[in-house]
């Protein structure tokens, strides 16, 4: 069977209503019990989860999300604190610029939107640190609206089930967006459940490595399965490294600053990494990103 191209209309061997109900029924029976999915989860709780879940597994996010919402249950609570406190509370989740962006979004929500996360997609998109995916996810998951929500998991499900290839392109394409739009249910509430259902399918079953095809509700309809699961033929997929990278050094430097609750002399930062050139480069990067502030020569702190 020839793989479908994303420039064509979606062509699954089942009508769209059946496709939607198949995925949604699977989701309702198999979904994880996550606190940001409960009926009483606030839009702010959903937004925090979406910031934290970017490039970070659920098991690492759960304790950080709970601690964050305990300390800052509303945007105004976070906005009242220095951005450095957001960086401190972010802990070891990684990619700490997300903490600064979430703090900036909280300030904008507090100052421009009465402390309430806006329910309008365009307004969400205008918030600091909120991109195409996050705006669609918050509008969909917090407000049950109809939007295309394309994360890595969703793109992988569509690549296999619709396109017949093992992995999607490195970056989201216009063709993928057209396909996702064509597959989106017309009813807003159904579309919101469909969006999270496909995402969950990619996270639990249609995984990047070792997909559990026998457990997939789309097994008989999947274009990749029907094509004999052809191997990936695109550009080499490189795994992320961490040990010995500038990112690791940045994490070690930030750990010292997070634990200090005040200013930190250069000597304490020098002790965390032996390579002076790499250490200086990592520290300069943290300062340039706004994650660290120089107080005076050789003295640093989290941003105030």
Residues with active-site annotation: 50
DSSP code of 294?
E
CB distance 43 to 138 below 8 Å: yes
Paired sense of beta strands 264-265 and 293-296, if any: unpaired
Residues 221, 201: Cα–Cα separation, whole Å: 14
Q: Quick one: how far is CA 156 from the chain centroid?
A: 15
Strand partners, 300: 264, 294
- Side by side, the strands of the sheet bearing 293-296 are 264-265, 299-301, 293-296
CA-based torsion, 241, 243, 246, 251: positive or negative: positive
Q: Where are the alpha helices (DSSP H) in the chain?
A: 16-30, 43-53, 58-71, 75-79, 83-90, 97-112, 121-126, 132-143, 152-158, 174-183, 188-204, 223-226, 246-260, 266-270, 276-288
- Return the structure tokens found at 115: 């402390």
**Residue carrying structure tokens 């396909």:** 179
Residues 103, 84: Cα–Cα separation, whole Å: 9
């Amino acid at each position: 069977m020839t793989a479908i191209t994303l420039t064509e209309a979606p062509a699954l061997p089942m009508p769209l209503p059946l496709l939607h109900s198949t995925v949604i029924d699977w989701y309702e029976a198999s979904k994880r019990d996550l606190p940001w999915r409960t009926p009483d989860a606030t839009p702010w709780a959903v937004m925090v989860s979406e910031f934290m879940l970017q490039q970070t597994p659920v098991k690492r996010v759960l304790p950080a999300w709970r601690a964050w919402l305990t300390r800052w249950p509303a945007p105004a609570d976070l906005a009242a604190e220095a951005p450095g406190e957001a960086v401190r509370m972010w802990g070891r989740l990684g990619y700490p610029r997300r903490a600064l962006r979430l703090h900036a979004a909280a300030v904008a929500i507090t100052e421009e939107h009465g402390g309430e996360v806006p329910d309008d997609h365009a307004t969400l998109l205008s918030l600091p640190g909120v991109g195409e995916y996050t705006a669609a996810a918050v509008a969909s998951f917090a407000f049950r609206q109809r939007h295309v929500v394309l994360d890595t998991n969703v793109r992988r499900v569509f690549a296999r089930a619709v396109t017949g290839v093992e992995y999607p392109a490195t970056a989201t394409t216009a063709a993928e967006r057209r396909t996702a739009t064509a597959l989106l249910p017309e009813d807003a509430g159904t579309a919101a459940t469909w969006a999270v259902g496909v995402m969950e399918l990619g996270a639990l079953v249609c995984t990047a490595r070792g997909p559990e095809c026998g457990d997939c509700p789309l097994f008989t309809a999947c274009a990749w399965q029907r094509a004999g699961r052809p191997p990936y033929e695109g550009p080499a997929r490189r795994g992320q490294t961490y040990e010995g990278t500038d990112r690791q050094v940045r994490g070690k430097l930030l750990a010292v600053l997070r634990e200090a609750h005040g200013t930190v002399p250069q000597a304490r930062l020098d002790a965390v990494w032996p390579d002076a050139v790499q250490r200086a480069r990592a520290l300069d990067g943290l300062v340039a990103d706004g994650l660290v502030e120089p107080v005076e020569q050789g003295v640093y702190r989290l941003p105030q």
